[in-house]
Structure 1
Amino acid sequence: MNIQFDEQRQVFHLQGPGTSYIMQVLRHGYIAHLYWGKKISTYRQSNPILFTDRGFSPSVEPADRAFSLDALPHEYPAYGNGDFRTPAYQVELGNGSSISDFRYKSHRIFQGKPTLEGLPATYTEQDEEAMTLEIMLEDSTIGLSATLIYTVFRNFDVITRSVRFHNAGNEPVKLLRALSASIDFHDSEFDLITLYGAHINERNISKRPLVPGQQGVESRRGASSAQQHPFMALLRKGADEDHGEVYAFSLVYSGNFTAQVEVEQFQTCRASIGINPFGFSWLLEPGEQFQTPEAVLTYSSRGLGDMSLTYNKLYRTRLCRGNYRDRERPILINNWEATYFDFNADKIEQIAKTGSELGIELFVLDDGWFGKRDDDNTSLGDWTVDTRKLPNGLKDLAERVNAMGMKFGLWFEPEMISENSELFREHPDWCLHVPNRPSTTSRNQLVLDLSREDVCDYIIQSVSDILASAPISYVKWDMNRHMTEIGSAVLPPERQRETAHRYMLGLYRVMEEITSRFPDTLFESCSGGGGRFDPGMLYYMPQTWTSDNTDAVCRLKIQYGTSLLYPVSSMGAHVSTVPNHQVERITSLDIRGHAAMSGNLGYELDLTKLTDAEKEIVRKQVADYKQIRPLIQFGDFYRILNPFERNDAAWMFVAPDRSEAILGYFRILSQPNDAFHNIKCKGLDPDALYKHEETGAVFGGDELMNVGLSLPQLRGDFASLFWKFSKVED
């Protein structure tokens, strides 16, 4: 890694392990983007910006019609002074105008990576791991500055970007738009990949060619959402899983976002990502600052697979934090689909006892343990134990579970409030609402106003009191609705459009405080399943409930799409009963187990109702998973067959030292006279020999990757196999 500044040519050259990123300060102080792609040793201006008279494009200099901001490849573009494309930022001044003009003022280069105040971000453990460039831009007319922050890493081909605004003037300035990153590409010959979905159908993969005009994704829901994802990738034509150039953008943020590409009149394109300007503004008083979330940009010359390996490793080791970052995740049993709200301490103990006998390590008590929570109409916000169901309290139940050799976990939904609750009756103004407007409910609940300090303090204290009251080793942190009537009782009218972002800052403060108070507790985030599976959440909670959909076949696509960005160690995956509660499909315990073993294994069914034969299958799955758990959770993940395109799926987990590997294969529907399948492995050592543990056969790593491996003919629908390979020592 290195960051160089050529004083004579005014060129910045940022270098990662295999990436170069190059900018230049032009006359008048405008910063142009020159190159992002495969690493070069030295930049000698082989692609200088060619200025030409574009006819009706406005020019900065009356005497030089060729120097037009409308055609310049900007690094952080404005609007209103000659560039008609989508701006990266926009302001509103006291006189009603929205014109600003940032020019280069100064820069500094230093070792390490600064934190972002109040926001999650990637980090370093030693300053030697990264270098940072800060470029200060200034509009001297209004006294507003924007510091562009870039970091390159020693071990990862990523560039992180964010922006810090500072009002050094004498008058307030309102930010209407404040994106984290914008890049002008010199052409538009790309396909665009995004992730889309819905509740119980998260992170499907969309791929389409760029067309003239605007295209992209966004959320206006107050959460990153299951519907769209704060990520996009631009693929060169012909690029695929293993070949071709990929330029990817991921936002470390959990709220409203935009990720968009504009193909403009000269067939270039502008890609940008950041907080969604829809419904957003931020008032900067003199002396105040505003920090945007971090965007993580990744370049790959070897397709989507290499992009994913980079994101997976970075997010697992330099975004996730805490004691569980590098610790194996326990195998759990969750009672939700087994009992829903209808349980008591004895029923919970029976399920836990059976789980203990099968080797399961953690019992998680889901919704229904607090207030008068017999259904979803009541009690959210009242974090006190329901002694009707648990007459001796949580501590007694947790200790009974612990006595079986299992840890105890608990479900919360701290961000929500029921109208039928003691908390709402005491503090009706604590929810998001707009005066004189009815409040829209979803799942019979409202959203607490986390832009308020007193609300955040209440959540921190009430959750902490419960966690301190019993030996609780795991927390499932849920959030089951999106924001409506986004308004705060404590913000003045000119700041109401800050509410959604202030909510996120409040949530991050709450999570930071609680997870710091309980460092030995494993926290898993959830939002109706995977509705807030984003990098911002992983900074506080190292794993996420991937989807409320536990059907094994659906999970193939959901987990495949999730793997584009996120490590396996971040994916909660459970075996549930059949017929499945979401799609009514009946599948074997084998494929349910193999799908769930492709993440952090858990179970979500009534174990006491299993037959003896089924219990033996579960016991073996648990024992087998314990043997391969480090490889699954912390190995390198390779996608082989894409279930979005085929009737089957395949992927591999490979140890970082390539000493062992697991191949998972899943065939969905049986076909008459089905062809024999040949799988080409990935990630192995081509010069090593590998023993196939199931058959004892030995193959060369190069043979397994280039010739491939013949699979047996599988019978029936929904069939799968999980094969292990171990390197043969000399």
Structure 2
Amino acid sequence: MPADDPAITRTTCAGRPAWLLRTSRNAMLLSVADDGALRLDHWGDDGGGVGDGLSGDAYLPHTPWNRASQAHFLDGVPLAASTYGDRAFKEPGLVVQRQDGSSVSRLTWRDDRIEDDVLVLVFDDDATGLVVEHRFAVLAEHGIVVRDARVCNRGPDPLRVERVASAVLGLPPARYESWTLHGRWGDEYQLTRRALPPGKVVLDSRRGFTSHEANPWFAVTRAGEDGPVWFGALAWSGNWSIVLETERNDALHVVAGLHPFDSAWHLDPGEDFRTPSLACGYTDDGLDGAARLLHRYQRDHVLPARHRTTPPPVHYNTWLATAFDVEVEHQVALAGHAAELGVELFVVDDGWFGARNDDHAGLGDWVVDPAKFPRGLTQLVDEVHRLGMGFGIWLEPEMVNPDSDLYRAHPDWVLHLPDREPTLSRNQLVLNFAREDVREGVLAKLRALLAEHRIDFVKWDHNRPYTEVGWPRAAPERRREVWVRHVRGVYEVIGRLRAEFPDLMIETCAGGGGRVDLGILGLADVAQVSDNTDPGDRLRMQHGFSRAYAPRAMVGWVADAPEPTTGRTSPLEFRFHVAMQGVLGISGDIAGWGEDDRKQARELIAEYKRLRPVIQDGDQHWLVPPSDTEPCAVQYVSRDRREAVVFVYQVRGVAGEGPRRIRLRGLDADRRYRRDSDGLVTTGAVLMGVGLSSAFPPPPPPRHTEDWRSRVELWQAVDGEVAR
């Protein structure tokens, strides 16, 4: 796409009104059919003149001669929107009920607007006054189109929105495969590949938050092809749903957005509702290329702007050293050890507040425990700052223990139903952030804490799913809005805190990696991947995580050995090299580390700081994905292609197996590069064509089956030297 070409152009497709959306990587062609359907006539490679000769009719399934009436149906036709009431039998993206109980809508295209690379297509239903706006924001440089929808009631009677998707996406007939992220607590972000069968594959969460079990990201490829990839990521931290429906002619119909489960939105006359957004794109550069597009989009447009130009700090978190046994002198000692290692941020985890000696009490009472901090929290905060580090603290503001002053004062503040016994999980309940008084009450507590102390960082945790989701004081027609209003309320509180304390950094955590999506990443600077710090497991999780989310947002922890979740033991260097793939964090009892480990940790932290700009802001390439037996390698290349960082790992050796060649990517073929460790100079062409050996020197005795070997290489461009 030439730089001076418009991102959005009005055109025609087979005589129909059409719009061509073009980015540097792909094109999307939309048109409105005579029946009012919004078609997706093309989404993919921009070959120039995309609209020429496309009618969409070629996508229709074969109509038998004695079933001519079936030609009026939209089954098998790729669509950009689908409404219950269309002449189709595929998954609807919009269902609106009127007062008489009917849910059939018939939308007609009325208008379009193009403003600042944003296309808005307006449809309405004369019978009800329903107005629907489909929005397409084109980020041409990043190869991304961001979609959302707004539904408005311009009629005289109330309407009930039973379902409204952020986006509908249709692909023409082919055999497709999906790539999705699944798992469970301690095993999140497992990249899952499956052939899409006839019918529907549903990805979703009904737990109230993003979830450990699935993530609102997807990619689609043609079966047997590694190049073309269509992908999308939803910006929502509550219940969500992505439906991948293979139609009878093998066309693919994707519906992504808010989960319709137990949810509805009441629209009085004059009211409207806007969905969360879906960032979607296409590339012919495989899953790795799709990930790089999403990474750049997140770094430039999603992550909070305040800290985009400064790297997230190396941090130490106290949880694995102290758990709830927080005591000021021990914390001061840990801070001293952390500073000696080169840590930049010291984070006190759970146990500093209220009656918090275990997980049975204190949540909601964000007041410093005087028994643990006799001279107040300021003593520790000042010492941490004197040591040259930022100070961070753990919070779980959306939750409350029944054994807390907050719950005793306001038992009605939790999500509940008056005639149902509440279900405890981790001995806690969920505060109803749909309520304004709850939001204001929580905000007042947090504001007081942050105003009284020089707190630079908050780890915002979230440790249970939602049950008995009720809002008894709301009007009956509004009660099913609670799922959405709660999440919006959380966003509001975090957003207001960021506005009042603009230098504050926030980490999103939900029992590890249970709440990571483009919605929360618009408010949080970094994200936990998992409570499981086992480096072998983390390689697989971080590989999956980075298919959807930028390394700049990915927190990795170096923990003690044996690892507290799996009990496995691995070398300190290996643990560091895995955690260095994104934002480096350390936990564990560093006061108990020997001098050799401390010396090695200081060296590795210093090395990470040198490599950090390329790791966090460069383009990531997974050269060899994680495996149980074979080598694994990941590479980062600076945007100017002058530097490259390569991590190579071997979790488990196999007897008799020879070394592999690891070919680098994304370098300048004609440029010469020098390896920092030994001064070797060669060309980008050699590094990409011949590559590096995966071999490691023989391990010292005793040799074990699990070798846990790793190394990191820095390659830097040099000028005027001859390769040797």
Asked if 1:725 corresponds to 2:710, the answer is no
Asked if 1:304 corresponds to 2:313, the answer is no
* Worse-superposed segment, 160-169 or 183-192: 183-192
Q: CA deviation at 1:322?
A: 3.1
Pairs within 5 Å for 1:671-710: 671-710=654-693
Q: CA deviation at 1:53?
A: 7.7
Deviations for 1:543-584, whole angstroms, at most 9, x for unmatched residues? 111211111111101111111111111011111001111110
Pair 1:196–1:53, CA change in 2 (3 A): closer
Partner residue, 2:3: none
Partner residue, 1:107: 112
Partner residue, 1:287: 270
Q: CA deviation at 1:58?
A: 9.5
Q: Distance in 2 between matches of 1:670 and 1:185?
A: 43
Partner residue, 1:122: none
Contact 1:58 1:69 in 2 (8 A): no
> 23, 30, 33: which is aligned to 1:23?
30
Q: Distance in 1 between matches of 2:192 and 2:91?
A: 23
Partner residue, 2:583: 600
**What TM-score results when the alignment is normalised by the length of structure 1?**
0.94
Partner residue, 2:525: 542
Q: Distance in 2 between matches of 1:108 and 1:267?
A: 33
Partner residue, 2:455: 472
Partner residue, 1:14: 21
Contact 1:57 1:82 in 2 (8 A): no
Contact 2:319 2:587 in 1 (8 A): yes
The secondary structure found in structure 1 opposite 2:487 is helix
Q: CA deviation at 1:663?
A: 0.6
Pair 1:44–1:448, CA change in 2 (3 A): closer
Q: Which amino acid aligns with 2:211?
A: S
Asked if 1:637 corresponds to 2:631, the answer is no
Partner residue, 1:36: 43
Contact 1:58 1:70 in 2 (8 A): no
Q: Which amino acid aligns with 1:102?
A: L
Q: Which amino acid aligns with 1:24?
A: S
Contact 1:413 1:478 in 2 (8 A): yes
Q: CA deviation at 1:645?
A: 7.1
The secondary structure found in structure 2 opposite 1:87 is coil
Pairs within 5 Å for 1:532-681: 532-644=515-627, 647-681=630-664
Deviations for 1:105-129, whole angstroms, at most 9, x for unmatched residues? 1111111xxxxxxxxxxxxxxxxxx
Q: Which amino acid aligns with 2:150?
A: R
Deviations for 1:260-282, whole angstroms, at most 9, x for unmatched residues? 11112232221111001111111
Q: Which amino acid aligns with 1:496?
A: R
Q: Which amino acid aligns with 2:714?
A: K
The secondary structure found in structure 2 opposite 1:621 is helix
Contact 1:53 1:65 in 2 (8 A): no
Contact 1:636 1:654 in 2 (8 A): yes
Q: Distance in 1 between matches of 2:78 and 2:242?
A: 18
> 396, 419, 423: which is aligned to 2:379?
396
Contact 1:239 1:246 in 2 (8 A): no
Deviations for 1:79-110, whole angstroms, at most 9, x for unmatched residues? 24531111111111111111111111111111
Pair 1:97–1:644, CA change in 2 (3 A): farther
Q: Distance in 2 between matches of 1:56 and 1:194?
A: 40
Pair 1:263–1:646, CA change in 2 (3 A): farther
Q: Which amino acid aligns with 2:418?
A: P
* Worse-superposed segment, 81-90 or 410-419: 81-90
Q: Distance in 2 between matches of 1:567 and 1:478?
A: 20
Q: CA deviation at 1:658?
A: 1.2
Contact 2:76 2:247 in 1 (8 A): no
Q: Distance in 2 between matches of 1:475 and 1:332?
A: 12
Q: Distance in 2 between matches of 1:684 and 1:690?
A: 9
Pairs within 5 Å for 1:5-404: 5-6=10-11, 9-50=16-57, 54=63, 66-111=71-116, 131-240=117-226, 244-404=227-387
Pair 1:43–1:560, CA change in 2 (3 A): closer
The secondary structure found in structure 2 opposite 1:401 is helix
Q: Distance in 2 between matches of 1:30 and 1:328?
A: 46
Partner residue, 1:128: none
Q: CA deviation at 1:667?
A: 0.5
Partner residue, 1:448: 431
Q: Distance in 1 between matches of 2:456 and 2:66?
A: 62
Q: Distance in 2 between matches of 1:334 and 1:52?
A: 58
Q: Which amino acid aligns with 2:206?
A: R
- Aligned-residue identity in percent: 34
Q: Distance in 2 between matches of 1:466 and 1:57?
A: 74
Q: CA deviation at 1:192?
A: 0.6
Q: Distance in 1 between matches of 2:713 and 2:321?
A: 31
Q: Distance in 2 between matches of 1:590 and 1:228?
A: 31
Q: CA deviation at 1:646?
A: 5.2
Pair 1:577–1:458, CA change in 2 (3 A): same
Pair 1:624–1:11, CA change in 2 (3 A): same
| Structure 1 residue ranges without an equivalent (≥5) | 112-130
Q: CA deviation at 1:43?
A: 3.6
Q: Which amino acid aligns with 2:202?
A: G
Q: Distance in 2 between matches of 1:57 and 1:76?
A: 30
Q: Distance in 2 between matches of 1:68 and 1:88?
A: 17
Q: Distance in 1 between matches of 2:62 and 2:127?
A: 28
Q: CA deviation at 1:540?
A: 0.4
Q: Distance in 2 between matches of 1:710 and 1:323?
A: 41
Contact 1:433 1:485 in 2 (8 A): yes
Q: Distance in 2 between matches of 1:418 and 1:44?
A: 59
Q: Distance in 1 between matches of 2:373 and 2:51?
A: 72
The secondary structure found in structure 2 opposite 1:592 is helix
Contact 1:282 1:497 in 2 (8 A): yes
Q: Distance in 2 between matches of 1:341 and 1:581?
A: 16
Q: Which amino acid aligns with 1:234?
A: V
Q: CA deviation at 1:188?
A: 3.7
| Structure 2 residue ranges without an equivalent (≥5) | 1-5
Deviations for 1:369-418, whole angstroms, at most 9, x for unmatched residues? 00010000001000100010011111121001111222211110000000
Pair 1:473–1:535, CA change in 2 (3 A): same
Pair 1:644–1:54, CA change in 2 (3 A): farther
Q: Which amino acid aligns with 1:19?
A: N
Partner residue, 1:489: 472
Pair 1:433–1:700, CA change in 2 (3 A): same
Q: Which amino acid aligns with 1:545?
A: Q
Pair 1:726–1:283, CA change in 2 (3 A): same
Q: Distance in 2 between matches of 1:57 and 1:455?
A: 63
Deviations for 1:398-453, whole angstroms, at most 9, x for unmatched residues? 00111122221111000000000000000000000111101011111000000001
Q: Distance in 2 between matches of 1:16 and 1:418?
A: 50
Q: Distance in 2 between matches of 1:256 and 1:671?
A: 44
Deviations for 1:527-547, whole angstroms, at most 9, x for unmatched residues? 001100111111001211121
Q: CA deviation at 1:248?
A: 0.3
Contact 2:457 2:504 in 1 (8 A): yes
**What TM-score results when the alignment is normalised by the length of structure 2?**
0.95
Q: Distance in 1 between matches of 2:466 and 2:709?
A: 41
